[in-house]
Structure 1
Amino acid sequence: MNRIDAKFAECKEQGRKALITFITAGDPNLSVTQEAVLAMDRAGADLIELGVPFSDPVAEGPVIQEASQRALAAGTTLVAIFDLVKRLRERTQKPLLLMLYLNSIYRFGKERFFSLCEQCGVDGVIVPDMPYEEKDEIEGVAEAHGVYSIRLVAPTSHERAAKIAKGAKGFLYCVSSTGVTGMRSGFSTDFDAFFGQIRPYATIPCAVGFGISGPEQAKEMQRYCDGVIVGSAVVKVAAEHGESCAGPLYDFVRSLREGMDGDTK
């Protein structure tokens, strides 16, 4: 069983929602990223996404764009990120996903990329610039290596939501708002209507992301879905504390977990 399936099943059995966190790999360097991931693991993150830095991250807001630039300036490469995943696998069995752009996979080579995902312990990939209609570009080779290609569905997907949900693996990444990633003070999306479009067709868990900035929003959003994804807010903490970010990230992720669990501590 893929670790993603196992983790969502565990969360369901325990009566809680999954907390999924994102961090840009290599910002400020890969050693810090390793400690940051392990800190988030200890703090209660159920799944962790590693962002592969890219020169033109079209789906990202300024926080993650700037983190991507810092990581690239530090010399972060995809090969080095695979090495990081191998090291992490010696210390955690939480699901690890790579979030990256399609061009990065093409340049690396699809077969080589997914083969290394399998060898190193990557459970899934999220490719935000790959439309559903182009899913066959990678899904076949990903599945051959036991890696899930996570599909994204947005409030603007409308009638396409049924197609996107059908045959999806791991979890559906439900984009909370149109536009790019980034922390938001509020949402204009009608989530009852949005998830009403998705739920009749989804046979796997749904997780909502884009814009969730703190414990209160995470607690509110989990009412609609099976998991909550927090990205830019995590990257912002990492950026503010640099090489000393592991402790503050532990505290922040712990606050998210406690907020979702209704902990009053």
Structure 2
Amino acid sequence: MEELAIMNRIDQSFKEKKDILNIYFTAGYPHLDDTVRIAKALEEAGADMLEIGMPFSDPVADGPTIQDSSQKALENGMTIATLFEQLKNLRNHISIPVLLMGYVNPILQFGIERFCDQCAEVGVDGVIIPDLPMQEYLDFCQVYFKEKDIHNIFLISPNTSEDRIHLIDQESGGFIYVVSSSSITGAKKGVQEGQLDYYQRIQSMNLKNPQLIGFGISDKETFDTACTYANGAIIGSAFIKQLNEDSSEEAIKKFVKGIKG
């Protein structure tokens, strides 16, 4: 029991669960004060992990659906400082792992050490920063992440070399974010040609870190397929579209049930 008490929640989740459903949503969307409400609704609905997006004006890895939500959140007044203020009582409501996803410029402007301190203070377990170069992370950031036991999650794609995948596996913790295709985020129907070969290749590498598949996971079919080859999957754009239509707790519960069955 003592080991579990000090284990990062992400590591604990992978130790205890399989077929993990990680759901992304943008902080401050649809409304500025929706962040914790949506997080609570997702946990109650059965999500295993949460990925909260920090809106940025130039989200290069994101498709139009998440870009639109990011722009709206910025217009609503969302900032990193505002997000941390919203999350200060997070662990009074949420027990599952929580990650922040965003881009390096706003984090550097906020201050990397201050950012890690705030993550630890509110109970954030990991971060995903798609445009943070590996060497910059190792040289300037890793010390702060490790000090606060915050996992920095790296992304790989079909174009990532095996050498780099092994380096990422060696230098990171939590899980590896397996980008399903060489494209921006966005909900796609079904499994695209060549994806299964890619999933099988990663599976056969026997990496030490678990893997979650993201980009294009949109429904039960694509989620179940991802879980065949990895430890679970990440859904983003499809959930943002759900929030566009109906962000009520009942609708969120129905969405999650539709994915997990």
**TM-score, normalized by length of structure 1?**
0.90
Q: Aligned residue for 1:262?
A: none
Q: 1:4 aligns with which of 10, 29, 34?
A: 10
Q: Aligned residue for 2:4?
A: none
**Aligned length in residues:** 252
Q: Aligned residue for 1:239?
A: 244
Superposed CA RMSD = 1.5
Deviation at 1:204, TM superposition (A): 1.6
Q: 1:91 aligns with which of 75, 82, 93?
A: 93
State yes or no: 1:158 paired with 2:164: no
- Residue identity in the other structure for 1:148: H
Separation (CA, whole Å) in 1 of partners of 2:235 and 2:184: 14
Separation (CA, whole Å) in 2 of partners of 1:33 and 1:172: 25
Q: 2:257 aligns with which of 251, 254, 259?
A: 254
Separation (CA, whole Å) in 2 of partners of 1:49 and 1:200: 26
* Runs of at least 5 residues in structure 1 that lack an aligned partner in the other structure: 259-265
* Runs of at least 5 residues in structure 2 that lack an aligned partner in the other structure: 1-6
What does 1:1-265 correspond to in 2, within 5 Å?
1-11=7-17, 16-136=18-138, 137-159=140-162, 160-185=164-189, 186-197=191-202, 199-241=204-246, 244-258=247-261
- Please say if residues 157 and 181 of structure 2, whose CA atoms lie closer than 8 Å, have aligned partners that are also in contact: yes
Deviation at 1:46, TM superposition (A): 0.6
Separation (CA, whole Å) in 2 of partners of 1:234 and 1:55: 20
**TM-score, normalized by length of structure 2?**
0.91
- Please say if residues 24 and 52 of structure 1, whose CA atoms lie closer than 8 Å, have aligned partners that are also in contact: yes
- Residue identity in the other structure for 2:183: G
Q: Secondary structure at the match of 2:233?
A: strand
Separation (CA, whole Å) in 2 of partners of 1:158 and 1:201: 15
- Residue identity in the other structure for 1:189: G
- Residue identity in the other structure for 1:99: M
- Residue identity in the other structure for 2:93: R
Separation (CA, whole Å) in 1 of partners of 2:203 and 2:172: 12
